């Protein structure tokens, strides 16, 4: 997959042989992927993070989280010298032709708004050292209006003053596909201020030229539009999931099948099949906090009423988690003292990320209601254990299911889809399974004597 993309780039690189000095501030899922991919398309890259520990790990070629294909890319470019990491903002300012801002903007601890304190801190650490013309390109998801405010902040503090430009270049990275998505995106969006002499657009075109040469559209907007593109895209995706989950409830009540329905409506190009998988709903470090931040910002700007539907999407999504708890209680009669096996802790497959994980939320609710919960995930065990230390962590999926009264599949890892009903039935107490991601073959499980429940499936 990535190999094909890499092959193409190497060819063009040899032909064009240019190099921009790129700084990426923030070495989380987004920043580390962006830094490695910038090196992959030929640039000299300096990754910056305030954590000495993280920087040391990355510098030794180790990615502190799981993302397919990323560690190999990181190692290759750390070894080649094209990519290095540091904690020094002074070094960053001296090095960077462009500074990508990729720090986290989590949900505020007091309310629903996006917390931009890390963005402000990064700008405040960098600005006093910026003595030469440069571009700061924000990638973090921020409340609309942040970029313009940051431009004033940086220009007031930087020795280079107006020669520091702020642009916004939102990231649409999907965990599990981060490398591929960064090297072969659907589009590149760049928002820039209104200075006619500005060279942010030109420089970013240069930075992305190898990717653009593959035919990827480059969309130029103003700063505010670029900021909103990201949250609007995420709000739309969340709404799509919310919609299909509402239809799933209707399907269940009416004896219809939501998966077949999604296949049928998805054939309409205006609708599309992607993001119509009904189930436990969305979680992760982006969708939930982004829709809340959008609503909060809309309220601040006096247009909150237009987003009543998005609040309902959020509520409906949370209801999916309670529904799975209710279904489990319904099947078992009571949750008190019931042995529940949970397969999946990550918020989706192919990641070890458990931020706002629907699976962990269900696990916690079941435990609080008196169930004995044993859980297994192929990659997210360490992160899950840190978040919810009181659950019982098993070493394999079969181990988690030993003696279980009910098995819940909460993340659709391939490994779980490959489990044979007979093998699982040999270790559980009772053959009850809730397929909260609709990822199993219901006929196969029922034929093997299991009580099977999907979401929205007859
Ligand atoms: C998302 C966006 O896809 C990405 O463009 C943006 O930059 C960040 O947020 P990510 O959080 O990595 O990316 O995950 P994604 O694959 O979009 O899934 C989000 C959640 O929605 C997961 O919990 C997933 O299980 C759920 N989902 C997705 C569904 O429940 N049904 C679907 O059909 C699709």
Tens-digit pLDDT profile for residues 357-398: 999 999 999 999 999 999 999 999 999 999 999 999 999 999
Q: Identify the pLDDT of residue 14.
A: 46
- Of the three residues 155, 189, 216, the one that is the final residue of a domain is 216
Structure-token match 């209707």, residue found: 250
User: Ligand 1 centroid to 346 CA: how many Å?
Assistant: 12
Q: Identify the pLDDT of residue 387.
A: 97
Q: For ligand 1, what atom is nearest to the CA of residue 241?
A: 31
User: Ligand 1 centroid to 174 CA: how many Å?
Assistant: 7
Q: Containing domain of residue 325, as a range?
A: 255-454
Are residues 308 and 179 located together in one domain of the fold?
Answer: no
Name the residue at shortest CA distance from atom 23 of ligand 1: 282
Q: Identify the pLDDT of residue 10.
A: 52
Is the shortest distance between the CB of 353 and ligand 1 below 6 Å?
no
Is the shortest distance between the CB of 241 and ligand 1 below 6 Å?
yes
Are residues 32 and 105 located together in one domain of the fold?
Answer: yes
Are residues 61 and 125 located together in one domain of the fold?
Answer: yes
Is the shortest distance between the CB of 283 and ligand 1 below 6 Å?
yes
> Which residues lie below 8 Å from residue 399, measured CB to CB, with a gap of 6+?
374, 376
Is the shortest distance between the CB of 286 and ligand 1 below 6 Å?
yes
Q: For ligand 1, what atom is nearest to the CA of residue 286?
A: 9
Q: Identify the pLDDT of residue 237.
A: 98
Q: Identify the pLDDT of residue 3.
A: 41
Q: For ligand 1, what atom is nearest to the CA of residue 277?
A: 33
Count of domains forming the chain: 2
Q: Identify the pLDDT of residue 441.
A: 97
Beta bridge partners of 25: 48, 101
> Which residues lie below 8 Å from residue 138, measured CB to CB, with a gap of 6+?
100, 101, 119, 146, 147, 150, 166, 167, 168, 169, 170
User: Ligand 1 centroid to 427 CA: how many Å?
Assistant: 33
Instruction: Of 416, 409, 340, give the one whose Cα is nearest residue 378.
Output: 416
Q: Is the dihedral of CA 178, 181, 182, 188 positive or negative?
A: negative
Q: Read off the pLDDT of residues 292-351 as tens digits, 9 standing for 90 and up.
A: 999 999 999 999 999 999 999 999 999 999 999 999 999 999 999 999 999 999 999 999
Is the shortest distance between the CB of 347 and ligand 1 below 6 Å?
yes
Are residues 160 and 270 located together in one domain of the fold?
Answer: no
Tell whether 123 is covered by a domain.
yes
To which H or E segment does residue 211 belong? helix 209-212
Instruction: Tell me the backbone φ, ψ of residue 249, rounded to 5 degrees.
Output: -65, -40
User: Ligand 1 centroid to 287 CA: how many Å?
Assistant: 7
pTM of structure: 0.94
Average per-residue pLDDT for the chain: 95
Structure-token match 């930087």, residue found: 158
Q: Identify the pLDDT of residue 370.
A: 98
Q: Identify the pLDDT of residue 1.
A: 35
Q: For ligand 1, what atom is nearest to the CA of residue 181?
A: 5
Name the residue at shortest CA distance from atom 32 of ligand 1: 275
Which stretches of the chain score pLDDT less than 70? 1-18, 196
Are residues 203 and 270 located together in one domain of the fold?
Answer: no
Is the shortest distance between the CB of 173 and ligand 1 below 6 Å?
yes
- Of the three residues 199, 216, 233, the one that is the final residue of a domain is 216
User: Can you read off the two tokens belonging to residue 434?
Assistant: 């809730």
Is the shortest distance between the CB of 185 and ligand 1 below 6 Å?
no
- Of the three residues 165, 200, 216, the one that is the final residue of a domain is 216
Name the residue at shortest CA distance from atom 22 of ligand 1: 282
Name the residue at shortest CA distance from atom 19 of ligand 1: 282
Is the shortest distance between the CB of 277 and ligand 1 below 6 Å?
yes
Q: Identify the pLDDT of residue 93.
A: 98
Contact 71, 77 (CB under 8 A): no
Q: What is the CATH number of the domain that holds 21?
A: 3.40.50.720
Q: Which residues are catalytic?
A: 286
């Amino acid at each position: 997959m990535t190999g094909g993309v890499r092959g193409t780039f190497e060819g063009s690189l040899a032909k064009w042989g240019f190099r921009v000095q790129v700084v990426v501030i923030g070495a989380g899922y987004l920043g580390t992927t962006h830094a490695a991919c910038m090196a992959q398309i030929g640039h000299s890259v300096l990754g910056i993070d305030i954590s000495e520990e993280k920087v040391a790990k990355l510098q030794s070629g180790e990615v502190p989280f799981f993302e397919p294909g990323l560690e190999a890319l990181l190692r290759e470019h750390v070894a080649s010298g094209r990519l290095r990491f540091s904690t020094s903002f002074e070094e960053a300012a001296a090095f960077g032709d462009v500074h990508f801002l990729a720090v986290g903007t989590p949900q505020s601890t007091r309310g629903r708004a996006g917390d931009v304190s890390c963005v402000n801190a990064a700008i405040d650490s960098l600005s006093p050292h910026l003595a030469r013309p440069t571009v700061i390109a924000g990638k973090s998801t921020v409340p609309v209006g942040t970029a313009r405010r940051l431009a004033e902040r940086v220009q007031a503090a930087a020795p280079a003053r107006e020669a520091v430009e702020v642009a916004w270049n939102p990231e649409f990275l999907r965990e599990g596909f981060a490398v591929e998505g960064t090297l072969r995106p659907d589009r590149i969006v760049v928002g820039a201020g209104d200075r006619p002499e500005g060279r942010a657009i030109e420089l970013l075109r240069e930075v992305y030229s190898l990717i653009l040469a593959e035919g990827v559209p480059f969309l130029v907007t103003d700063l505010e539009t670029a900021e909103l593109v990201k949250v609007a895209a995420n709000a739309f995706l969340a709404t799509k999931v919310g919609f299909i989950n509402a239809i799933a409830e209707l399907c269940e009540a009416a004896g219809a099948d939501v998966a077949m329905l999604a296949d049928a409506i998805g054939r309409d190009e205006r609708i599309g099949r992607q993001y119509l998988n009904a189930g436990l709903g969305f979680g992760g470090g982006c969708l939930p906090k982004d829709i809340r931040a959008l609503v909060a910002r809309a309220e601040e700007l006096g247009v909150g009423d237009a987003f009543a539907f998005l609040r309902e999407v959020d509520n409906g999504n949370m209801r999916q988690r309670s529904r799975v708890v209710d279904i489990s209680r319904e099947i078992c009669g009571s949750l008190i003292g019931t042995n529940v096996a949970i397969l999946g802790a990550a918020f989706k497959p192919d990641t070890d990320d458990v931020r706002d994980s629907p699976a962990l939320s269900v696990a916690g609710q079941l435990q609080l209601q008196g169930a004995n919960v044993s859980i297994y995930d192929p990659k997210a065990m360490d992160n899950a254990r840190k978040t919810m230390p009181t659950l019982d962590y098993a070493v394999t999926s079969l181990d988690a299911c030993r003696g279980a009264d009910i098995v819940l599949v909460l993340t659709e890892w391939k490994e779980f889809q490959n489990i044979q009903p007979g093998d699982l039935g040999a270790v559980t107490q009772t053959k009850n399974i809730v397929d909260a991601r609709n990822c199993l073959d219901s006929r196969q499980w029922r034929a093997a004597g299991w009580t099977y429940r999907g979401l929205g499936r007859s």
